Homo-oligomer: A and B are copies of this chain.
Amino acid sequence: MLKVGVVGGTGYTGVELLRLLSVHPQVQVEVITSRSEVGIKVADLFPNLRGYIDLPFTAPDLANLTACDLVFFATPNGTAMQSTPDLLNAGVKVIDLAADFRIRQVEIYQQWYNIPHQCPELLAEAVYGLPELNRSAIAKARLVANPGCYPTAVILGFLPLLKANVIEVNNLIADAKSGVSGAGRKASVPILLAEAGDNFKAYSVPGHRHLPEIQQLLNQCSTQPVQLTFVPHLVPMIRGIQATLYAVCTQPEFDLQGLFTEYYQQEPFVDVLPANSHPETRSVRGSNFCRIAVHRPQHQNTVVVLSVIDNLVKGAAGQAIQNMNIMCGLPENLGLVNPALLP
């Protein structure tokens, strides 16, 4: 059994990790920390875990964490960087679900997150935990930067097109829509049900923190510099992201459906739908799948990719467990085998 710790167990990515880990056949959750809820039983805060997790929240403590084989950070940005060097030195593997190790250039991180980085020397070592892109590096990694939710949906949608070099990369558009759990479990007026319910809006159009992360990854997959417009929107639902991606196709006769189907053929968690499909977010609710469809409306130049994930699973906790499985030599889908909850 793998001994794991969860630092920051009170947010949505934390409780989702616990939901999945509590029934993972090869994992024992040893410690769950929260500065704000010390002494409270996890199941008192999250009643779905009654009977599954009997631990209380404890204060973060290096001794407890170094007794684990692997530690997940489900904390705000800027937290994981503080303990990660010590944990790695103690031989503990680390997966950070926040952004501390996603951006390779420390200046860009500091510009967008406005936090001085505590261990920039680890940025080169950290592996961006998108298995569809970096599986073999993840398998050898000590430190994995778990991708953001929007980046996961957007990158998986653009990846085959970039690798096949069939689109103009200087004018990519990602129109992304997310349920409100993406904003986290924090007291905040704009995500109240009475504010965000029965309502729709774009936000952060001038610049969202996931933009540099997406651009970095797309650039890694492209021979030419990528220019991306990224517009996120808030959907009155709890879970789910849909990214609608637009690019100009440079090869009018290219078989895009075949490209996507073949590209993701071996992937356990990427499902390419048949031609003319429209994936819906509930088809992945609670599951680790990304479902994708590709269109070329009216047989014109513009290719449209539709990509859906559950932002808390493939966009956070599920992908983190997928990474854990890979890092620890377990079957990649262990503990991630349940179908989505529909309806």
Contact = CB atoms under 8 A, between A and B. Distances in A.
A18 to B, nearest CB: 8
B201 A280 contact: yes
Contacts of A282: 48, 198-199
Given A194-B191, A278-B203, A340 B48 contact: yes
Contacts of A167: none
Contact of A200 (B22, B205, B237): B237
28 contacts: A12-B343, A19-B341, A22-B339, A23-B337, A50-B271, A179-B194, A179-B198, A185-B192, A188-B192, A191-B192, A193-B193, A193-B238, A197-B343, A198-B198, A199-B282, A200-B235, A201-B278, A202-B244, A205-B276, A205-B293, A205-B304, A206-B297, A206-B298, A230-B297, A231-B297, A235-B235, A235-B236, A286-B341
A47 B189 CA distance: 15
Contacts of A51: 271, 339
A240 interface: yes
Given A197-B198, A207-B297, A279-B201, A343 B239 contact: yes
Given A195-B343, A236-B236, 13 more contacts: A48-B287, A49-B339, A177-B177, A180-B192, A180-B197, A198-B237, A199-B281, A199-B282, A200-B237, A202-B306, A203-B278, A206-B298, A207-B298
Contacts of A301: 171, 227
User: Which of A12, A194, A281 has the largest count of B CB atoms less than 10 A from its CB?
Assistant: A194
B343 A194 contact: yes
A205 B48 contact: no
Contacts of A188: 187, 192
A47 B279 contact: yes
Nearest to A283: B47
B278 A236 contact: no
A206 to B, nearest CB: 6
Given A205-B297, A298-B207, A341-B48, A194 B12 contact: yes
A248 interface: yes
A83 to B, nearest CB: 26
A23 B39 CA distance: 36
Interface string A256-284: 00000000000000010100101111111
B341 A285 contact: yes
B237 A242 contact: no
A342 B201 contact: no
A181 interface: yes
B276 A339 contact: no
A73 interface: no
A15 interface: yes
A278 B199 CA distance: 12
